[in-house]
Structure 1
Amino acid sequence: MTGGTGHPVHTLDDVRAATAAARSAGRRWAALGARERRTALLRWKRALAARADEFARVIASETGKPVHDARAEVLMALVHLDWAARHAHRVLGRRRVASGLLSVHQRASLSYRPLGVIGVIGPWNYPLYTPMGSIGYALAAGNGVVFKPSELAPGVGVLLARSFGEAVPAHAGVLRTVTGPGSTGAALAGAQGPAGVDKVAFTGSPGTARKVAAACAATLTPLLAECGGKDAVLVAADADLDAAADAIVWGAMGNAGQTCAGVERVYAAESVHEELCARIVSRARALTPGETYGPLTLPSQLGVVERHVEQALVDGGTARLGGPDSVRARVPGPVVLSGVPEDSPAVTEETFGPVVVVNPVRDMDEAVERADASVYSLGAAVFTRSRAAGLALAGRLASGAVSVNSVLGFATVPSLPFGGAGESGYGRIHGAEGLRAFAAPHSVTVRRFAPPVDLTSFATPRERAARAVELGRRLHARF
């Protein structure tokens, strides 16, 4: 069956077949070892880099984002694939661990094994970069992957799997793409038995994540969920306001605001709030919708954005730039709001459009309190001229990642884990934690010599074992 995009609508049987094929190919892939997988993945990475323009054109055609944005997305995907390939052996390879006094006679080591087959359900806003944070790391860890891209951007996923097979033909079946609507994703998450995946990595809305989690729960399939955010920027009284305004506008309006860790809230010290608003408005007014950024990929999101802006004004907020009329076109204009009550949807719900709320706060203590009051906990940013103050504020914020004097700085650092809590989901991609997310710890002990008192043998006299236990107890009672 073919969907409206011209790509197949894969059924449960199709998903099971793809999973079984990925599992079979994945066994050979896992047997290669990390060093050989590194060689293969770097070969794929170079092929992707050579085809960057082709990928960018597909991304742009499916999402509507400008080609220059799509090219930047391809670059970020390359950066993460490169890091995963080069560091998997160090992160996941066998290493010695301390045995402790009680088990000094044992040599202990820890390594990580592939899980098997990872099901990746990708989003439409960054259809290459975001899923690569799971696909690249899962492959580097030795797994097979079945990728279900968004039905709004299936061509990127199809091209990705094809490019892998062309770059690494001996292992072409390790990465497979299935296409279709939500039912295809549900099949990927809910397939049971040997034809089911061993873990699901999902990116999307909290509502859909709950459905995926319910499907996974039926088979106790682990889930990694990245569900969006309502990221806040804290601007201290001593901040460089030009730098802060520039970063806020880029973080709020880039990709038409369709970034899970994009800027949606700003809390600025009262003494600089007005000046910061003026600078944000000046920069936002200079943007050219349709050129600087593209349309809302999901047409229904227009209604959400319009509702948030309208309600913000009804609740007593002020439109510093734009308003409800600005966001009724498929390519909405930038909107800057201020004085919006903290219980208004524009502050509490994910807007996912080119809208930013800039509210004044008494001090940074209040800013932290308001930032952490959200049900989302993904990313945040702090602007201050004091490095010590910036690090201190970053440490107080509950979000999974914080940038100081920039926004989204953590997204382009492949060694840093990315993820949140609450409505932002759970689990981490990227970095060493991202590699371990797609592997299972494997513990091994080797007995080196017979211990003076063997507590794991019935042959040890009971009195002698009791004295050894008592000695251990006393040591722990003292130290």
Structure 2
Amino acid sequence: MTPTAESVTRVVAALRSRQPEWEALPISARARWLSRYRDWLWDNQSRLEALLIAETGKPAVEAGLEIPYIVQAINYHSRRAPRVLADRRPRPHGVLAMTKRQLIVQRPYSVVGVITPWNFPLGLSLLDAVPALLAGCAVVVKPSELTPKAVSAAVAGWAEIGAPQVLDVVCGDGRAGNAVVAQVDFVQFTGSVRTGRAIARAAADRLIPCALELGGKDAMIVLDDADVTRAANAAVWGAMANCGQMCVSVERVYVESAVYDEFVSQVTAKVAALRPGIDMGRFTNPAQIEVMRRHVDDALSRGATALVRSHGGDGPTVLAGVDHHMLCMTEETFGPTLPVVRVRDEHEAVRLANESRYGLSAVVFSRDRHRAEGVARRIDAGAVNINDVFANLFTLALPQAGWKESGLGTRGGSEAVSKFCRPQAIVAARVTPARELTWYPYTPLRGAAMRRVSRLIGARGFRRRFG
């Protein structure tokens, strides 16, 4: 049952009332609670994974990735939090600043709302909740209405370990999400571009910050000096993992002509060998089946060829003879399709890769590291993986940032904890005369003195300082 706006308001109000005590704890104490929670996640891993499989239809191996991912995030951010959140005293910029004690402290947003989709319910919910909790925020998670059980069970674990009640969950459809956005102080959203735009507008109306990770249409470029077998394996996993239901799925491949035939041959054989229920799960959201069918049917009607396609039209599909007039090359499919394009050279590949309104991540394959990096630097995307796929997701020190319509702000990275804080400047006078030179009353003598001092400090060259 969708909670009412009033019930969401009560949940957020309760979190807000408890947050100051949580913020007042030493960072080490907050980290200890996260460590206990990490142990609880390990102890309940099998139960949580069973809920994931039941709700999402993931294969067991893929369901088994989410808890270890969260645990690594807890370990990494807990190590960094004391340094990231430590008070800082910047060096004075000049003579006048030397008379002031300068201090920068990090103050957390009171309540953070984390709104997540159905494709990685635990991973995406807790990946953002963990650094926010370390920062001293209270957190309310709103999971997709398609996958509420696994997230609710995981959040319940926070209460089970006896932690301060600064983590809670509200379940329901978009109305619950709207109520969260209307109440919290910072919104972290993962989902569609359409919903992301609505959240950005609502956040702007309230003058609160938001971070958005939205859709993708990730491109893979295979250069003529690539390890074709590794590239083909990466393309198949990158396109088909989680039934293609990933914002960073490989959704289009551009292959230089010299290795095109070999690449397509290997990809076709590997996709045809995928085993339903073992390698491939099912669609979590049945609506995505129709999106995929529409994209594939459109491509076939415009002259593309299906090298692999299931009878029902909802299984792993490889398309050749595609171009940018087709929906499968321009709109996010979010399903197990792999369109492959033959290109003349790397310049055409980069041009086509950038011919998209999305810019989440991309992949480049080449045995020449310098050449690959040169191509990567020309791709308009927040992350580029070289001779790998999804690698940026597992390098926790790196930010995940969507360009263009793929997002706003960053997730993770070395600034993941401080992102949920506001810097506060505290300035104290070192010397305290009864009156500063700039204070009332204004007099000609004071004005002349201020003018002379400002020239001595700020001007360069003898004439300007003393003229």
Higher mean alpha-carbon deviation, 207-216 vs 295-304, is at 207-216
Residues 1:267 and 1:450: Cα distance change in structure 2 (over 3 Å): farther
Q: Counterpart of 2:427?
A: 445
1:47 partner amino acid: W
Alignment partner, residue 453 of structure 2: 468
Q: Counterpart in 1 of 2:137? A: 143
One-letter amino acid of the structure 2 residue matched with residue 24 of structure 1 = S
Query: What residue identity is the alignment partner of 1:381?
Result: V
Between the aligned partners of 1:64 and 1:84, the Cα distance in structure 2 is: 30
Aligned pairs for 1:194-273 within 5 A:
196-273=183-260
Which amino acid in the other structure matches residue 317 of structure 1? A
| CA apart distance, 1:83 | 1.7
Distance 1:456 1:154 in 2: 60
Structure 2 partner of 1:184? 176
Identical aligned residues as a percent: 38
Please point out which of 273, 276, 280 is paired with 1:286.
273
**Cα distance change, pair 472–86 in 1 and its aligned pair in 2 (3 A):** same
Indicate the residue corresponding to 2:87 in structure 1: 94
User: CA, structure 1 residues 77+290, in 2 after alignment: closer, same or farther (shift >3 Å)?
Assistant: same
User: Which amino acid in the other structure matches residue 384 of structure 2?
Assistant: V
Moved more, 13-22 or 332-341: 332-341
Q: Secondary structure at the match of 1:110?
A: strand
The worse-fitting range, judged by mean Cα deviation, of 416-425 and 113-122 is 416-425
Larger radius of gyration: 2
2:376 to 394, 401, 416: 394
Deviations 1:283-311 (A, max 9, x none): 11110122212111110111100010111
Distance change (3 Å), C-alpha of 1:463 and 1:411: same
Say yes or no: does 1:76 pair with 2:58.
no
Select 1:311's aligned residue among 279, 282, 298: 298
Deviations 1:14-33 (A, max 9, x none): 10010011112221111112
Q: Is it true that 1:417 corresponds to 2:409 in the alignment? A: no
Contact 1:340 1:357 in 2 (8 A): yes
Residues 1:318 and 1:455: Cα distance change in structure 2 (over 3 Å): farther
Q: Give CA-to-partner distance per residue, 1:334-372, whole Å, 9 cap, x none.
A: 111122111311011100000011112222222222112
CA contact (8 A) 2:437 2:446 kept: no
Aligned to 2:387: 405
Contact 2:396 2:414 in 1 (8 A): no
Q: Where does residue 193 of structure 1 map in the other structure?
A: none
Residue 158 in structure 1 maps to residue 143 in structure 2? no
Deviation of residue 241 (structure 1)? 0.6
SS of corresponding position for 2:411:
coil
Q: Aligned in 2, Cα 1:447/1:268: closer, same or farther, shift over 3 Å?
A: farther
CA distance in 1, matches of 2:104, 2:438: 22
Find the partner of 1:109 among 83, 103, 114.
103
The TM-score normalised by the length of structure 2 is 0.93
Which letter does structure 2 place at the counterpart of 1:181?
D
8 A contact 1:118–1:138 mirrored in 2: yes
1:73-96 deviations in Å (ceiling 9; x for gaps)? 221122112222221121122123
Question: What's the secondary structure of 1:440's corresponding residue?
Answer: strand
Deviations 1:127-147 (A, max 9, x none): 011122211111111100111
Deviation at 1:407, TM superposition (A): 0.5
* 3-state SS, counterpart of residue 414 of structure 2: helix
- The unaligned stretches of length 5 or more in structure 1 are 4-8, 191-195
Secondary structure of 1:101's counterpart equals coil
Match of residue 418, structure 2, among 433, 436, 456: 436
Map Cα deviations across residues 382-403 of structure 1 (whole Å, 9 max, x no partner): 1111122222222222211111
Cα displacement (A) at 1:457: 4.3
Q: Secondary structure at the match of 1:434?
A: coil
